[in-house]
Structures are given as structure tokens and as C-alpha cells.
Amino acid sequence: MARPRATAYGLAVPGRVTDLIHRHGDAILAVGLVALMIVQVWSLDVSRPDKLATTAGALALLVPLARRVRVPITLMAVLAAVGLLGQWLPKRVLDVEAFGLIVLLVVYNGAAHTSGRRAWSAGAMTTAFGLTVLVTDPDGVTFGGVIFFTLLFGAPWLAGYVVQRRRVSEARMRWERDAAEAAIVDERARIARELHDVVAHAISVIVLQARGGRRLLDSEPGETRGALDTIEHTGQQALVEMRRLVGLLRESDEELALAPQPSLSRLDALVDQVRVAGLPVELVVEGTPVDLPPGVDLSAYRIVQEALTNALKHAGPARARVILRYEQDRLEVDVADDGAGTTNGDAGGHGLVGIRERVSVYGGELEAGPRAGGGYAVCARLPYASKR
């Protein structure tokens, strides 16, 4: 059976081509731009050493350009170095269209894929590069040159900034939605525990009364009637409580009910989401990961989620570090930030209180508070086997 074809601009595109573009699009674009620049430079009427020097500069851009999303600052630094070195070469070698396209892409990329201090660094580097190129122009500083360089550097930077802010806004909305869903899941768990307690108590009373009533059925009918009355009353109370709690557990969102349960295996996606929302996070795993009980696995994930949520809300401009430490008999979860916030407690009641409750359920230990060097730290220790 033939593989379905995707369409692009009305043209049928083989599925393998779309997969290749999706996986290696940045590398393909980098190779294409660098190759085009080299071809255009070698078509110019300049000396061979100038062509070789420009070719070396173009090749220096290849690797960071192919990894532009991951290394935007490095890419801008390499571009600035190539551009400044090009000022000692004939002007025409960097006037080729391909180099202009590379500049547009790099400036846009620097604004679209940085935030916080890195964004300020990228902006300062872009401004310094543009001013240096403008001032060292052999034709001197002209009004037309100012307009040209303002558009060359300003327009892609503004476009990238708009894209970056939209991405951050969407990430924050997703994060808040996930936090709200997690709060709902926690509330359901609390209701489920309450339901268990209600039903377990009621059934225990009913069983004991039924057993006693059976023994007294012939000898003391009056006592048997009292036992039956107790059974009826207890059963009615249990039904009322069950109806109330089951009503709270009803959920119209079937997708949420069918969604896979969060676990540490999905922690990378969570960390990436926080990074996009504006908080740089480093994830470190120490020791050999082990298969955790489902409850411990879920609790560890939620502890990291809640701690990062609070850091995102209260720490201000900061960086966070998450450490999962697999020890012989327990898992340690450390989440620390270097922000200015003095507390990571969530005013909504789902922050540190929720973390403490999760740790307590499994007989673990929790340490949370401001760090000596600034910032806030949460350290939870969860035994693999519950002490409860």
C-alpha cells in the first residue's frame, strides 16, 4: 500500500520528505544558505585569498546555524565575528544576498529563542554588531545606511520578540491549565480517600450489627430489631455520603480522564515547558533509576511540578535546578532556585502544603526554606517502600 502523501502549497510531498524536513530542517536550511553564500562569493571578481577567507567564515557559521535553536547566543557571536572580520575584506564579499539572509535569520532566531538575561545579551550583541558594521562602512555613516541597518537588524528582532512573547504566553497558559488540572486530580484523590473512609466505616458497622442480630434472632427479638434499625440508618447515611462524593467526582472532560498518568518518565517534557514559560531549568539525575511504586512516582512528579510552579510565580528572574537522586532505599527530589523570592508557598493552597501532604502520605521527609545564598529550596525524601 502506497504511503500517504502530505500536501504543501497544493503540491503533493512524499511522506519521507516531510519527515526529513521535520527532523533536520534547520540543518538543511543551514547547508543551503552557507552553500549559496560560498557560490555567490566565488562568483565575485575578488582575489582568491579574499574568497578563501570568506569561505572559511561561511563554514564557521554552518554548525551553529544548524543548531540555531539550541545555541542562539553562540550563533550571534560567530556571526558578529564573521561580520567584523569581513570589514577588512573587500566590501562586496559580505554584500551577497545569502549573507543578508543569514543575518536576518540569526537576528530573528536570537530574539525568538532567548528570554530573560540571555535575551538582553542577544539584544546588546545585535546592537553592537549593527553599530560596528555601520560605523566601519567604507562609505561612511549616511542617512540611508542608518535606515538600512535599522531595518536589517530591527525588523527581524521585533518579529522574533513577538514570536517569543507569544510562545511564553501560550506556555504560561498551558502551565496554569495543567496546574489547575493537577489541583482537580488532588481534590479527587482527597474525595476518594474520604469515600473509602465513609464506605469502610459503614460496611464495618453493618457487618458487625448483622452478625450480632443473627445470633440474637431467636433469643432476643427486640435486640435484633435494634440491630436492623442500626443497619438501616447506617446504610442510608452511607448512601447519602456516597451520592455526594460521587457527584463531586463526575467529570465532563473525558480526555482528562483518559490521559496517561504523569510520572518521572515524562519529567523532561515538564521541564521543557517551564523553560519555555521563562524559567531556565537544569535537570540532573544521580544514581541508577529504579522502578518506583506508582504512587511514589506520581508524587515525585507532582512535587517537582508544584515546586517549579511556585518558583515560576515567586522567584522573579532566576534559574532553577532539579535533582533526582536515587539512593539505596529512597528517592531524593531537590528543587532549588536562585531568585529573589523569600517564600515558595502558594497562596492558593496547592504549593508547599500540597508537597508536604504528598511526602507525609509515604512517610517521607521534607525540608523547604530560603537558601543562604539567595533563592528557595525544596528537598523531599520519599522511601521506595512506604513506612505507613
pLDDT confidence band for 35 (50 / 70 / 90): very high
CA–CA distances in Å: residue 57 to residues 50, 75, 262, 376: 11, 12, 47, 45
pLDDT confidence band for 44 (50 / 70 / 90): confident
Q: State pLDDT tens for residues 161-196.
A: 888 888 888 888 888 888 888 877 777 776 666 666
pLDDT at position 335, please? Answer: 94
In CATH, what number does 264-383 get?
Answer: 3.30.565.10
Q: What is the mean pLDDT of residues 8-22?
A: 62
Percent share of the chain, pLDDT over 70: 72
Q: What is the mean pLDDT of residues 26-50?
A: 88
Asked whether the predicted pLDDT for residue 97 surpasses 70, the reply is: yes
Which run of H or E residues covers position 109?
Answer: helix 97-112
182-258, CATH topology level: 1.20.5
pLDDT at position 349, please? Answer: 40
Amino acid letter, residue 234:
T
pLDDT at position 92, please? Answer: 64
Q: CA nearest 50: which of 95, 80, 105? A: 95
CA–CA distances in Å: residue 61 to residues 80, 96, 135, 290: 10, 15, 23, 42
CA–CA distances in Å: residue 65 to residues 26, 111, 132, 161, 227: 7, 15, 22, 19, 81
3-state SS, residue 137: coil
Place of cell 517537582: 304
Let me know: does 168 contact 276? Beta carbons within 8 Å.
Answer: yes
Domain spans in the chain, listed from the N-terminal domain onward: 6-141, 182-258, 264-383
Question: 325 forms bridges with which residues in the sheet?
Answer: 286, 332
CA–CA distances in Å: residue 85 to residues 41, 56, 80, 128: 15, 11, 8, 14
Q: CA nearest 130: which of 141, 117, 139? A: 141
Question: 379 forms bridges with which residues in the sheet?
Answer: 334, 367
